[in-house]
Amino acid sequence: MNAKPPGDNDAEGQKPGPFVDPDEPTRMVTPEMRPADASDSSRTSGATSGTATGTGTFGDLEKLADGPVQVLQEGDTLKERFVLEARLGTGGMGTVYKALDLRKQEAEDRNPYIAVKILNEDFRAHPESLRTLQRESKKAQSLAHPSIVTVYDFDRDGTSIYMTMEYLEGKPLDKITKSGGFKGLPLDQALEIIQDVGAALAFAHKQGIVHCDFKPGNIFITDTGPAKVIDFGIARAVKLGDDPQADATVFDAGSLGALTPAYASPEMLEDEEPDPRDDVYALACISYELISGRHPFGRMPATEARDNALVPKQPPELNRRQWKALAAGLAFDRGKRIADVETFVSELSAGGENRRALRLVAAVAGVAILAGGGFYFSTNETEEAASSGSGIVAQSDSGNETPGAASQPGTLAPAEVAPEPADPAPEASAEAVSPEPEVTVQGEADAAPEVTQEPERVQEALIPPVRFTAEDIDELVRRASCADIRHEIEGGSISVTGYSGSMAEINLLRDEIGNLSGVENTRFSVGLLDGALCAPLEVFTPYVRKNREENTGLTIRTRNEDGVYVENESLIVDMKLPGYESYVYVDYYSIDGGVLHILPNEAYPENLGSADLDVTLGEDDSVRSWTIAAPFGTELVVVLTSPEPLFGVQREEVEFASSYLPDLRARLDELARGADANRLSADIFFITTTPAR
């Protein structure tokens, strides 16, 4: 969002504020925003820049190499918030811990744990790589999908650089594929995993993001839900390391590059620009491995397999159409490879035993991307939930069967690939969490006979029908984190609207509401938020709920009732203040992680508003006004009222939300313990901005 300055002779630019005369129409405009100086990485241009992630990692990165080395271990705390409880694994980028989020614990969150990846010391010498990684992590935050691990934040504590992510229970796929005696999964179960991760890749490709390091170790098999893809947004093609056959990511902190030779396409190995077909090749390799129990080229890099004219054997489980699709996905020439993941998964699933009909791939078609945000819309609750469990039946990691001896890669015949050599112990998972669940080997034991029992018959007239209540829906809605969701009930029909930062939670809420007793139909229209808005929502949600439940009268809306604005269009905001005098704060949170303090600011430091006052911001563009500019997406406007001034000094008009919100939260907590706590209230409004056509 850009600010328009007043004319040189415009005396109205010196007005003390919108609350001087309640009888006069009020107006509010932003001060002119200054773009960040390229030489000063500690500043941000807020809504005018799309490079920040709102994590505060920018600033003095060059000094990291000179700072003392911080050796973190279990029991330490990052940012006075994340308690490192257990080390989950170590990889090329760093070490991952299971961590307790003290704020979630304080809020009695049902799942207070997250995963924290602490980057290794190599990054200290490469501040520019850190900035690039921060921008790439911002991309990962935008990938809200049931089969993509959620990335929350990228930040630092002293000289320790870390990423926070969704905490999962289960194990990485390579723990299954590398277990002793693994000979492949039953076809229907292999296809379930392929469909889950294929939907994730397809979703990312629609956002212009290629994974570039897709491998079994970056697929996580959860205990209760779909398979998930991890490490989006950090992998880039670079030259190979000294060991081209090592089944571990080759990662260089200086060039921020990552790839795994056994699953990288020939084009990636030859340093060509990333393309979605690179992920198709990797998915085809993994698919072959899941179905047959072995890598199609004995883990030989694609360039060597191509030069040796290797051709994998057709797995007997596949029909002709399925094999044609798998072979096309494994094509060494990008131009001959299947062009997109959807086509690959659809063709590979054709004629198989699995009948889910690309459940999650189909779910992608129900997501209309709105200018960097997303939108889920459904009017029929009969389809299968995209967040249901995968029901994987895999071989046990405790199996003691060893694979047969394998030929050396150089002895493979051109028309056939022999079984690959035994693999070394797999690298610890970055997202693995709990002890591995008990699994079943196909054919290990006969299924127990199904026992049926005739239900006891009762007189239906004696049992009154159970019907949902508004409280039932309120309880479900309150469980959603990073969300602002409302509902209306009319008979047996429920209308649900709002926004959420998680597609998985959107799907879960839709299914839970649809399954309530007495629900006849639902209209479900919930927008998908950028992850940068989750932190402010977490702070303001308690006060927004209080405002709505107590009907204080505080509201904020934009002149465009649908909340949609086009580039260069002026933004005008209307507010109704509550029925008591209060200090008023209006902020604009953008998807680049910045916060613009609209009121108060240097131009309008006075922000004490009288009861029931109507206030308009940005209407008179002869003073100053907002115009919509990049980055585009769904962003957040907040009004907060307080019985006292929040801060003793005027804050910078544009700053990182990650710097502002902790101070705001601490001050609100202090005021909430005071005698006038009932005058703390908030309302929010989302706008969606789009580029001009």
Categorize the per-residue pLDDT at 631 as very low, low, confident or very high, splitting at 50, 70 and 90: confident
Distance CA 315, CA 520 (A): 46
In 3-state terms, what secondary structure has residue 672? Answer: helix
In 3-state terms, what secondary structure has residue 194? Answer: helix
What dihedral do alpha carbons 348, 353, 355, 359 form, nearest 10°?
-40
Pull the structure tokens for residue 688: 């969606």
Q: Which of the 8 DSSP states describes residue 49?
A: -
Q: From residue 655, how far is each of 89, 440, 587, 595 by CA, in Å? A: 35, 53, 11, 6
Beta strands in 158-200 (DSSP E): 160-166, 170-172
Length of the chain (residues): 693
Which regions of the chain carry the CATH code 3.30.300?
464-528
- Phi, psi dihedral angles at 572 (to 5 degrees): -120, 130
What is the CATH code for 464-528? 3.30.300
Strands 521-528 and 493-500: parallel
Distance CA 310, CA 304 (A): 9
Contact 594, 655 (CB under 8 A): yes
> Which one-letter amino acid corresponds to residue 129?
S
Pull the structure tokens for residue 633: 């997406």
Which regions of the chain carry the CATH code 2.60.40.10?
2-6+28-50+533-690
Specify burial of residue 336 (Cβ count, 10 A radius: 0-12, 13-18, 19+): exposed
Contact 302, 294 (CB under 8 A): no
Catalytic residue among 101, 153, 196, 213: 213
- Domain 61-166 belongs to what architecture? 2-Layer Sandwich (3.30)
Pull the structure tokens for residue 317: 């489980």
Residue 32 has pLDDT above 60, yes or no: no
Whole-number pLDDT of residue 233: 52
Distance CA 40, CA 656 (A): 14
Strand partners for 148: 229
Distance CA 204, CA 146 (A): 12
Strand partners for 485: 498
The answer to whether the annotation marks 178 as part of a ligand binding site is no
Residue 244 has pLDDT above 50, yes or no: no
**What is the dihedral sign for C-alpha 244, 290, 424, 114?**
positive
> Which one-letter amino acid corresponds to residue 199?
A
Whole-number pLDDT of residue 180: 81
- Tell me the average pLDDT across 526-550: 91
- List, for residues 466-476, the tens digit of each pLDDT value: 577 888 888 88
Distance CA 229, CA 197 (A): 6
Helix count (H) and strand count (E) of the chain?
Answer: 14, 28
Angle at 514 between CA 513 and CA 517, to 5 degrees: 85
In 3-state terms, what secondary structure has residue 3? Answer: strand
Q: For the ranges 117-121, 179-183, 278-282, 311-315, which has the lowest average pLDDT?
A: 117-121
- List, for residues 315-363, the tens digit of each pLDDT value: 999 999 999 999 999 999 999 999 999 999 999 998 644 333 333 333 3
Categorize the per-residue pLDDT at 92 as very low, low, confident or very high, splitting at 50, 70 and 90: low
Whole-number pLDDT of residue 125: 66
Distance CA 117, CA 154 (A): 9
- Domain 2-6+28-50+533-690 belongs to what architecture? Sandwich (2.60)
Residue 100 has pLDDT above 50, yes or no: yes
Residue 438 has pLDDT above 60, yes or no: no
Strand partners for 221: 171
Consecutive H or E run containing 250: strand 250-252
Which regions of the chain carry the CATH code 1.10.510.10?
170-359
Whole-number pLDDT of residue 505: 80
pTM over 0.85: no
Distance CA 23, CA 26 (A): 9
Q: How many angstroms separate the most distant Cα atoms in the chain?
A: 90
Pull the structure tokens for residue 418: 């022999």
- List, for residues 40-76, the tens digit of each pLDDT value: 333 232 333 222 333 344 445 555 555 666 778 899 9
Whole-number pLDDT of residue 108: 85
Distance CA 379, CA 399 (A): 47
- Report the CATH fold assignment for 170-359: Transferase(Phosphotransferase); domain 1 (1.10.510)
Angle at 104 between CA 101 and CA 110, to 5 degrees: 115
Q: What is the mean pLDDT of the chain?
A: 73
- Three-state SS across 301-367? CHHHHHHCCCCCCCCCCCCHHHHHHHHHHCCCCHHHCCCCHHHHHHHHHCCCCCCCCCHHHHHHHCE
Distance CA 87, CA 73 (A): 8
Q: For the ranges 355-364, 448-457, 503-512, which has the lowest average pLDDT?
A: 355-364
434-444 as b/e: b if 16+ CB within 10 A: eebeebeeeee
Q: Between residues 384 and 223, which one has the greater pLDDT?
A: 223
Is 109 catalytic? The answer is no
Whole-number pLDDT of residue 126: 67
Residue 564 has pLDDT above 80, yes or no: yes
